Amino acid sequence: MTFWKDAGFSYLKYVQVASRALRSVLKEEAKVQALKREDTVLKVSRWANGKQGELKFVDPKNQH
């Protein structure tokens, strides 16, 4: 049950990976709808001492 926790994944990362897997095996029309929910262009920037860090793309596939 907690193989993913032992591997160092947080619950949210585990859920994201599992949802991706589910979406990829759906049938055609449901898949098209579901893939729309995967669309993300999110960017994150980590700040240190009041200085903005580099804006990095949050890649949903590369979770670790």
Partner 1 sequence: MFSTAASAKAVSFLAGPLSTQTAGMATLKEIQIRRRSVQNIGKITKSMKMIASTKVPKAQKIMESARVYGAASNGLFQHAQTDFADSKKPLVIAISSDRGLCGGIHSSVSKAMKADLRKNPESTVVVLGQKVKIQLSREYRDNIALHFEQVAKTIPTWDETAAIADIILEKAKEEGVDSAKIFYNKFKTIIAFETTSIPTFTLEALEASPKLSTYEYDDGVLANFAQFAFANTLYWAVAEGNASEMAAKRTAMENATKNAGEVIAKLTLTFNRTRQAAITNELIDIIVGASAM
Chain residues in the site for partner 1 (CB under 8 A): 1-2, 5, 10-13, 15-16, 19, 37-47, 49-52, 55, 58, 60
Smallest gap from Cβ 21 to partner 1, in A, equals 13
- Closest CB to partner 1 among residues 31, 43: 43
Smallest gap from Cβ 29 to partner 1, in A, equals 19
DSSP code, position 57: E
Residues 6+ apart with CB under 8 A from 55: 43, 44, 45
Could you tell me the two tokens for 11?
A: 């619950």
